[in-house]
Amino acid sequence: MDINRKTAYYTLLRMEKNTSYSNIELNNQIRTMKPDSPAFVRDLVYGVLENKLYLDYLLEQLVKRGLRKLDAEPHVLLRMGIYQLMFMDSVPDYAAVNETVKMAKKFCFYQTKMINGVLRNFQRSRETLKQPIHEEDPVKRFSAAYSFDPWITKLWLDQYGEERAASLMAASNLVPPFTVRVNTLKTTPEELRVRLGERGIQAYYSQVSKNVLTLEGHGLLELPEYTEGLFFVQDAGSAASVEALEPRPGDTVIDVCAAPGGKSFVCAEMMENTGNVYSFDIYEKKLEAIEKHARRLGIDIIHTALNNAEELRTDLVETADKVICDVPCTGLGVVRRKPEIKYRKVKNEGRDLAKKQLQILQTSSKYLKKGGYIIYSTCTVNKIENADVVENFLKNNSNFRLIHSRQLMPNGEGTDGFYYCKLKKKY
């Protein structure tokens, strides 16, 4: 049996049964199974994940007893088979069918005949199957066409209208760029660009943040430049939010939801490694990762501590020049990096989460000295978690003033979907 397809199958099956992250699951399976073509495995896994609801829309027309009663094993195999037939030009049709049937014999013998029948039927009838474009209901149409859970589809249609929602969904399905923040404590963007160029790695400047580069090449995290701490992985939107905060040497900054540490690192770097950055999170393991990366980057002003951002630490009241409040969110801005987010059920369009986000903002705002600045940010595209939270905060805190806010978009600036807002504590 083909080891590459088997690795993809194990990854997709585990994703179907658990709520694990695709990148972690895929890397684990590749490490254990050692497929001969990890690139093929990645293409197949991400292709199926990105198109899951569209594939199901077609399968629903082909599986006589419907998909609801189908076990995860034959369901995953059918998605993989149809995906190869439709989207993988490098795979001949006979191989897509035969390899899937071989796997069916091993992993769900009782459904081999059905799987063989469905795939062959698909080959015969693919031109005549109903397509999402023919659905009258826009939620049904967009949800199936772009493979987004109906709750997200409805949310974006309500907030952006059909044209912009469609372009946002299409951009969210593209392969994301690999972007890194240059560690200006050790090098400059131009110096790093030239050094990487000598290794055959192309580096392009970002339009959104002057110290962010997009890299094109393989094994980027195995490079000596990475080990030496010349860069860390970060999206330009994330970097831009800290740049807007303008941390200065000698400042005291509190980063209340800090892991994996990206924004704390930008702060420390802009502060030229002088002053103090307090980086908090609720997970001990994540704090260890911040410390490890800070050492690699040559940063020694970051102090980590376990802390629940919803609860006030009275000893910190009015101690910070700047505060970063990068709250947990629905993550709708990063589906191109984690396609599984497209299928996560979230209650009340994120309103429950927005209560927690407001609580965190309310608590962390107390840490600011008078005249200090706070950044509230999320990696999501959802007014309820973004502008509405800030609006509610300002209603109850007349001592704060909005300086500016920005919603970056994959279909606009080409960054992850990222929101940030800068507020000043007047008195």
Ligand X SMILES: C[S@@+](CC[C@H](N)C(=O)[O-])C[C@H]1O[C@@H](n2cnc3c(N)ncnc32)[C@H](O)[C@@H]1O
Binding site for ligand X (CB under 6 A): 238, 257-263, 280-283, 286, 308-310, 326, 328, 379
In the complex with ligand X, the residue whose CB is nearer, 274 or 308, is: 308
Per the annotation, does 154 bind a ligand? Answer: no
With contact defined as beta carbons under 8 Å apart, do 287 and 281 qualify?
yes
What minimum distance in Å lies between the beta carbon of 170 and ligand X? 25
Residues 247 and 273: their CA atoms lie apart, in Å, by: 11
* Of 145, 138, 141, nearest in space to 161 by CA: 138
At 404, is the secondary structure helix, strand, or coil? strand
Residues 342 and 104: their CA atoms lie apart, in Å, by: 27
With contact defined as beta carbons under 8 Å apart, do 277 and 271 qualify?
yes
What minimum distance in Å lies between the beta carbon of 329 and ligand X? 7
Is the peptide bond prior to 410 cis by the omega test (within 30 degrees of 0)? no
What minimum distance in Å lies between the beta carbon of 257 and ligand X? 3
In the complex with ligand X, the residue whose CB is nearer, 173 or 357, is: 357
What minimum distance in Å lies between the beta carbon of 280 and ligand X? 6
Q: Which long-range contacts (CB under 8 A, 24 or more apart) does 389-398 make?
A: 389/354, 389/357, 389/358, 389/361, 390/361, 390/421, 390/423, 392/358, 393/358, 393/361, 393/362, 393/365, 393/423, 394/423, 396/362, 397/362, 397/365
* Of 257, 254, 284, nearest in space to 267 by CA: 254
What minimum distance in Å lies between the beta carbon of 234 and ligand X? 7
Q: What is the phi/psi pair of residue 326, to 5°?
A: -100, 85
Per the annotation, does 177 bind a ligand? Answer: no
DSSP state of 349: G
Q: Which residues form the catalytic set? A: 379
Per the annotation, does 261 bind a ligand? Answer: yes
Instruction: Provide the residue type at 214 as one letter.
Output: T
Per the annotation, does 372 bind a ligand? Answer: no
What minimum distance in Å lies between the beta carbon of 145 and ligand X? 29
In the complex with ligand X, the residue whose CB is nearer, 262 or 414, is: 262
In the complex with ligand X, the residue whose CB is nearer, 112 or 172, is: 172
Q: What is the phi/psi pair of residue 421, to 5°?
A: -145, 130
Residue 415 falls in which region: left (phi positive, over 0), alpha (psi -120 to 50) or beta: beta
Per the annotation, does 281 bind a ligand? Answer: yes
Per the annotation, does 260 bind a ligand? Answer: yes
What minimum distance in Å lies between the beta carbon of 328 and ligand X? 4
C-alpha separations of 29 from 73, 100, 178, 250, 390 in Å: 17, 19, 22, 45, 41
Per the annotation, does 257 bind a ligand? Answer: yes
Question: Which tokens hold the place of 228?
Answer: 């030496």
Q: What is the phi/psi pair of residue 189, to 5°?
A: -55, -40
In the complex with ligand X, the residue whose CB is nearer, 138 or 260, is: 260
Query: Distance between alpha carbon 407 and the CA centroid of its chain, in Å?
Result: 16
At 298, is the secondary structure helix, strand, or coil? coil
Residues annotated within the binding site are: 257-263, 281, 326
Binding residues for S-adenosyl-L-methionine: 257-263, 281, 326
